[in-house]
Structure 1
Amino acid sequence: MLSYLVQRLLMAVGTLIVVSIVAFTIIQMPPGDYVDAYKGLLESMGEIVTEDRAYALRLQYGLFDPMYVQYLRWLGGILTGNFGLSMEYNRPVAQVIGDRLWLTVIVALASVAFVWLMALPIGIYSAVRQYSFADYAFTFIGFLGLAIPHFLLALIVMYCSFRYFDANVGGLFSTEYVEAPWSIARVIDLLGNIWIPALILGTSGTAALIRVMRANLLDELRKPYVVAARARGLSEWQLILKYPVRVALNPFASTVGYILPYIVSGSIIVSVVLSLPTVGPLLLRALLAQDMYLAGTIIMLLGVMTVIGTLISDLLLAWIDPRIRLVGQK
């Protein structure tokens, strides 16, 4: 198991290096740079930006250097904990992201927890009670969850809250805790507000995983070893949970690798609609302004979440199915 973990960690490091190169290259592909976008914004407001000022800005941010020099400078800073300077905010990227990063991780983990807690038991029940009324009902709800976009569901929830409960469900904190320092009261307030974005962001993932778990378990329940185990006198639920469910969890556990980054990247519009203080709106703004260090850092963090999710998925699969560990040792 230790050698299996070391192999995955080495692969994760190589993957992150490739992600950083691709992210930094793609951000610089559009014509122009941050100064061009900045000039356009100021000129649209009636302010004139002189060539001397534009030259000074490019010199300040090192935009005259070749792209590989800018990348190596950024990567070297990351290794020392310095993610560069945000051009738009004129502050270090770490300060701009600040609490948004941890709040993004908390929202993502809450959404994943919601997805698993809902999809696993519903998928098992739908497979065991195939073609029952509950199975049809869950199937209908699942297709509905897949069909409704996140932002539309967020708008519906906000409208119903205002219309029928006179409540504001936007944000992650109550008004008095938005700018307050971290405390036990602020954490409790966060836990009281986080379930709404977790429910909205986890709806489509829950619907998809219900179908995955149901299909996998139905396939396992038709295999001869289930019939043999039933012949030994095991109770129905003991039989189902001990053998078929464990095998059916393999594809289910493998989804962790993409659920974490999918929730973050797919929550940009939802974060704007619900006014969530996450990195999604920051990424959108940084891409529009071509703020390469800020955008590159956020994309890099998405890559890190993907790698972490994949590592967790691999470890879960190795724990569930010992055959995976044996293959990794060859």
Structure 2
Amino acid sequence: MINFVLRRVLYMVPTLIVISIVSFGLIQLPPGNYATALAAQMAANGETLQQAQIDALEARYGLNDPFFVQYLNWMGDLLRGDLGQSFLYNAPVAGLIADRLPLTIVVAIATLIFTWAVAFYVGIISAVKQYSVLDYVLSGFAFLGLATPSFLIALIMMYLGSQFLGMSVGGLYSPEWVDASWNFGKFLNLLSHLWVPVLVIGAAHTAALFRIFRANLLDELHKPYVVAARTRGTSERRLLLKYPVRIALNPFISTLGWSIPAVLTGDIIVGQVLSLRTTGPLLLEALLAQDPYLAGSIILIVSVLTVIGTLISDIVLAWFDPRVRLRSI
């Protein structure tokens, strides 16, 4: 097991180097840079940015330097714990991300718990009662969740909340609690709004995990070892939980690698629609403004989380199923 973990950790090093290059390179792909994007934005607002001002901005931030020069400068600062300066906000990137990170983590953890709990419970019910009315209803909701865009669900929730609940579902706090200091009342207000982004962001993830878990559980329920255990008089509850469910969880666990970063950033459009102060809308603003350090840092963090999530899922899967680590020796 130790060799298995060490090998996976060593694989992370070159992977993270490649990810950092790709993350920074993605920001350089669109034509122009922050200075030209700022000029275009000002022109759309009826203002003018002179060419001399554009040249001064490019010289100040080194926007015309070769790609690898900019990348090495960024990585050098990154290794010293400095994520750079955001051109868009004229503030340290680390501070901007740290400001959005607590609420992002709260939404991510709540969404993960909701997604796993619902997909696990509903998947077992649907598989055990295959081809029943309940199975068709649950599968129908799953297909609906997969087919409906998350931002559309967010808009529907906003409408229903406004028309029938008399509350605004945008943001994570009521307006009077946004700038208030932390106390129990603000915590309760957060909980009263948290269910909306959790439900919206988690809908598609829950539906996907439900379909995966149901399919794998159905495959296990018809195998000879299940039939043999049933003929020996093993109770259905014990038989289900001890053998088929445990094996069917393997693909369920393996999705942890992409589930963590997916729910941590949330759906970017959903975050924009619901006015969430999370990293998703911040990334969108940085990309539109071609802010390389802010956008590159967020993309890098998400990518690193993907690698770490995959490592965690590999370790948990190897611990959960010895066949995985034995095949990798």
Both proteins in one fold, TM over 0.5: yes
Q: Which amino acid aligns with 2:235?
A: S
Matched, 1:273 2:273: yes
Matched, 1:100 2:85: no
Question: How far apart, CA to CA, are the structure 2 residues paired with 1:47 and 1:225?
Answer: 74
CA 1:47 to 1:80, structure 2 compared with 1: closer, same or farther past 3 Å?
Answer: same
The residue aligned with 2:66 is: 66
Matched, 1:258 2:232: no
The residue aligned with 1:195 is: 195
Question: How far apart, CA to CA, are the structure 2 residues paired with 1:183 and 1:8?
Answer: 42
Q: Contact 2:265–2:279 at 8 Å: present in 1 too?
A: no
Q: Which amino acid aligns with 1:67?
A: F
Question: How far apart, CA to CA, are the structure 2 residues paired with 1:30 and 1:73?
Answer: 20
Matched, 1:129 2:144: no
CA 1:111 to 1:209, structure 2 compared with 1: closer, same or farther past 3 Å?
Answer: same
Question: Cα distance, 1:265 vs. partner?
Answer: 5.3
Matched, 1:152 2:152: yes
Task: Give aligned pairs, total.
Answer: 329
Question: Cα distance, 1:117 vs. partner?
Answer: 0.3
Matched, 1:210 2:210: yes
Question: How far apart, CA to CA, are the structure 2 residues paired with 1:181 and 1:82?
Answer: 28
Q: Which amino acid aligns with 2:169?
A: V
Question: Cα distance, 1:298 vs. partner?
Answer: 0.9
How large is the Cα RMSD of the aligned pairs? 1.7
The residue aligned with 2:27 is: 27
Q: How does 1:39-118 map to 2 (within 5 A)?
A: 39-118=39-118
Per-residue CA deviations over 1:53-95 (Å, capped at 9, x if unaligned) read 2222112212232211110111121122110110111111112
The residue aligned with 2:238 is: 238
Question: How far apart, CA to CA, are the structure 2 residues paired with 1:143 and 1:51?
Answer: 53
Question: How far apart, CA to CA, are the structure 2 residues paired with 1:316 and 1:294?
Answer: 33
Q: Which amino acid aligns with 2:207?
A: A
The 3-state SS of whatever aligns with 1:277 is coil
Question: Cα distance, 1:125 vs. partner?
Answer: 1.2
The residue aligned with 2:175 is: 175
Normalised to the residue count of structure 1, the TM-score between the two structures is: 0.94
Which runs of 5 or more residues in structure 1 are unaligned? none
CA 1:102 to 1:15, structure 2 compared with 1: closer, same or farther past 3 Å?
Answer: farther
Per-residue CA deviations over 1:163-221 (Å, capped at 9, x if unaligned) read 11111111112323322344555444333322211111111111121111111111111
Question: How far apart, CA to CA, are the structure 2 residues paired with 1:301 and 1:181?
Answer: 28
The residue aligned with 1:228 is: 228
Question: How far apart, CA to CA, are the structure 1 residues paired with 2:207 and 2:56?
Answer: 53
Question: How far apart, CA to CA, are the structure 1 residues paired with 2:181 and 2:80?
Answer: 27
Per-residue CA deviations over 1:128-178 (Å, capped at 9, x if unaligned) read 111112111111111111111111111111111111111111111232332
Normalised to the residue count of structure 2, the TM-score between the two structures is: 0.94
Question: How far apart, CA to CA, are the structure 2 residues paired with 1:277 and 1:87?
Answer: 19
Which runs of 5 or more residues in structure 2 are unaligned? none
CA 1:266 to 1:96, structure 2 compared with 1: closer, same or farther past 3 Å?
Answer: closer
